A and B are shown apart, each in its own frame.
Chain A
Amino acid sequence: MKKQLQPLIWRWHLFAGLILAPFLIIIAVTGAIYLFRADIEEYIYKDYYYVEAEGEQLPPSDLAFTALNAVTGGEDITRYRPGESDTRSVEVGITDEDGESLTAFVNPYTREVLGIINDNTRPMEILAALHSELLGGTFGDRIVELVACWTIIMLISGLFLWFPKATEKIKGAVTIRFNKRGRIRQRDFHAVPAFWISGGLLFFLLSGMLWTGFWGNGVQQLTTASGAGYPPPIWVGPAPESTTVAEDVADVSWAAEQMPVADSDPSSGFRQITIDEVVKTAEQTGVHPSYDIFYPASLEGVFTLSVFPPKAQDEATIHIDQYTGSVIADYRYDNYGPLGKIMALAITIHKGLEFGLINQIIGVIICIGLIGMVITGVYMWYKRKPEGSVGAPKAKSIFEYKGLLSILIGFGIIFPLVGLSLIILFLTDRLIIRKNKTLRRWLNY
């Protein structure tokens, strides 16, 4: 069985690998750099981040107002970040009249605006968009998801091809045979390091897929709905609202008379609490001090205190009623379901945050390993392939391999984008490739 399978799997591994190669290089390079995001941003924005602690800090409302006025065409304050230490500046998120999202850094002691940056032009944001969606929005996101899924297929098929056929050949499985030459050494350079990083790479692929718009979203919804994952408002589902907390028994008659616009909400007469009070409440909750406060998005919305520090265990999302200042929802790592905890840890490890430098180094090794796999793989193919043909083993009908077909269909169900790509491949094969003589010859049909 295995003997028959080998050429077919090799053929798939080769074609998929050649298609994936450029994408994997982009994802690995950007990922390796992004692991050091915090360190890089510390360096780029060092003049904006740090201040000298001198005396009392000014109230948050004062600093937020200062920031809003410092932005030309500044419209709304959307976010306030007090800063985790005495020497850290305050960050105020502002949207301007064009809808651009900006961050103003303010010295909390002197009210000096240290700098304003456009969030969309932050180098690390662009890098993240390149890593997660190839700068291509939703379409790019789907491509990255597809690449990740297919890379898992590559890993499995690669491990199948790598698996030693006889026990005495174990040397070429786990160590590179430097004393050999030519094809064997080329193969060892590709397959042996690939085997060593395969576990880590699989972890990075699966954890990275949690961010994807299609599969990742599905997993989130599934785990959230079952209560096993993240609490709903962190990623999916509606956040709690303010309306039921501070309310009125009766309509206040003056409002209808005085207000030019007939709006039932302002007529209740409740004022939104100030950011000073929200910060005070936040301090009482005892969350990690690197938190952000997001302003309510609507009349019924809530202030959301959100903190995603390096360690998943310190995560918190807290909703504060915009009219009463009371905490109406408090989700911490301990409240996550078992899958939610695993997902949260997987995410901080993926980003190189959970275990500090060691985590970053392992991440970089996996990225370099992946780049090495792509380069050695493509090189090996280029060296071996005959003139005028792709050099793949001969095509065989998948329908002769029921077991393999079942596994592929199973994969297509777990990863629907793989399923879709398999259907497209099948149709391309039947409708185009098989009808074209040159293509057939080149692809060794």
Chain B
Amino acid sequence: MYKYFYIVLSFLLLSGCSMVDRSTHDKYNDIPQTNIIMDTENITGVSPSEVFTMHILKDGEPVDDADITLTMWAAKDAEVWSEEYDVSHEGDGAYTAELNIPREGLYLIKAHVKDDTIDALPTKYFTVGSLDMFEEVFIQEFSNDDIMQTHSHH
């Protein structure tokens, strides 16, 4: 009888040695995975109608009923100037807006994306033409912000 007892115990012990694998998350969490793509590649120069495109995917499927508000501002004038844009829905999870780019420089664009399960606020920065000294410093700071947080919290 004891022989079986040991076998069961050994099995329990050994199975405890296996590492937790990532798929265990699924057992606890069914929040859909959202992909938000902010495409600033077509913004190439100073003009009142530069095309900005966004793609929204939920678990790989296009999202066509998202409520999106765009806010854009120049990095140097963050306190005093910003513009809000509505987006037009292009179908297949794509949305576009025409942005007014008044001059060369560093800009930030923030999208508030909402639907029944998504509530996201991504902010992206992009440049048009060349940057002045201040904007170079800003860019440096933006990237430093990210690199700064390197300490584990657990």
Residues of A within 8 A of B (CB): 75-79, 95, 218-219, 221-222, 224-225, 227, 231-233, 236-238, 240, 244-250, 252-254, 258-259, 261, 263, 265-266, 268-273, 277, 281, 284, 294-299, 301, 304, 321, 323-331, 335-337, 406, 409-410, 413-414, 416
Q: B35 and A271: CB pair below 8 A?
A: no
Contacting pair B41 A252 (CB below 8 A): yes
Quick check: is B118 within 8 A (CB to CB) of the other chain? yes
| 19 A-B pairs in the complex with CB atoms less than 8 angstroms apart | A95-B151, A222-B16, A225-B18, A225-B24, A231-B24, A245-B36, A246-B36, A258-B131, A270-B122, A270-B123, A272-B149, A281-B119, A323-B122, A324-B122, A329-B25, A413-B10, A413-B13, A414-B12, A414-B13
* Distance between Cα atoms of A328 and B35 in the complex (Å): 11
- Least CB distance from B59 to A in Å reads 11
Residues of B within 8 A of A (CB): 2, 5-6, 9-10, 12-13, 15-22, 24-25, 27-29, 31, 33-41, 55, 108, 113, 118-127, 131, 136, 139, 142-143, 145-153
With A270-B123, A271-B124, A297-B151 known, 11 other A-B pairs at CB within 8 A are: A222-B15, A232-B20, A232-B22, A232-B28, A246-B35, A249-B39, A259-B139, A272-B146, A295-B153, A324-B34, A325-B121
Residue of A nearest to B125 (CB): A269
Q: What's the Cα separation between A95 and B151 when bound, in Å?
A: 8
Residues of B within 8 A of A265 (CB): 146
Say whether A266 contacts B29, CB under 8 Å: no
Contacts of A249 in B (CB 8 A): 37, 39, 41, 55
- Name the distance in Å between A304's Cβ and chain B's nearest Cβ: 7
Q: How far is the CA of A379 from the CA of B108 in the complex (A)?
A: 75
Contact B153 A326 (CB under 8 A): no
A67 to B148, CA, bound (A): 16
Q: Is the interface of A mostly helix, strand, loop or mixed?
A: mixed
B55 → A minimal CB distance (Å): 7
Residue of A nearest to B55 (CB): A249
CB distance from B73 to the nearest CB of A (A): 12
Total number of residue pairs linking A and B with CB closer than 8 Å:
185
Does B31 lie within 8 Å of A328, measured CB to CB?
A: yes
Contact (A76, B148) CB under 8 Å given A270-B122, A410-B9: yes
The docked-state distance in angstroms from the alpha carbon of A77 to that of B41 is: 33
Q: What 8 pairs between A and B have smallest CB-CB spacing?
A: A227-B27, A324-B120, A294-B153, A326-B120, A237-B20, A231-B28, A266-B143, A325-B121
Q: Given A225-B20, A284-B119, do A298 and B145 touch, yes or no (CB 8 Å)?
A: no
Distance (whole angstroms) from the CB of A72 to the closest CB of chain B: 18
Say how far B78's CB is from chain A's closest CB, in angstroms. Answer: 12
A238 and B121 contact, CB distance less than 8 A: no
Find B153's partner among A79, A219, A281, A324 (CB 8 Å cutoff): A79
List chain A residues, Cβ under 8 A from B153.
Answer: 78-79, 294-295, 297, 304
Complex partner residue of A297 from B41, B126, B145, B149, CB under 8 angstroms: B149
Which A residues are in CB contact (< 8 Å) with B126?
252, 254, 269
**A-chain residues with CB within 8 Å of residue B37 when the two chains form the complex:** 246-249
- Among residues of A, the one whose C-beta sits closest to the C-beta of B1 is A406
- Docked Cα-Cα span, A245 to B60, in Å, equals 11
Kindly list chain B residues whose C-beta atoms are within 8 Å of the C-beta of A253: 41
Contacts of A329 in B (CB 8 A): 25, 29, 31
User: CB within 8 A of A237: which of B24, B29, B118?
Assistant: B24
Contacts of B41 in A (CB 8 A): 249-250, 252-253
Q: Given contacts A76-B150, A224-B20, is CB(A250)–CB(B39) below 8 Å?
A: yes
B22 touches A269 (CB 8 A): no
Cβ contacts under 8 Å, B139 to chain A = 258-259
Alpha-carbon distance between A337 and B26 when the two chains are bound, in angstroms: 13
Q: Are B121 and A273 in contact (CB under 8 A)?
A: yes
Q: Are B22 and A299 in contact (CB under 8 A)?
A: no
Closest to B33 in A: A244
> Are A413 and B36 touching (Cβ within 8 A)?
no
Query: A335 → chain B, closest Cβ, in Å?
Result: 5
Q: How far is the CB of A414 from chain B (nearest CB, A)?
A: 6
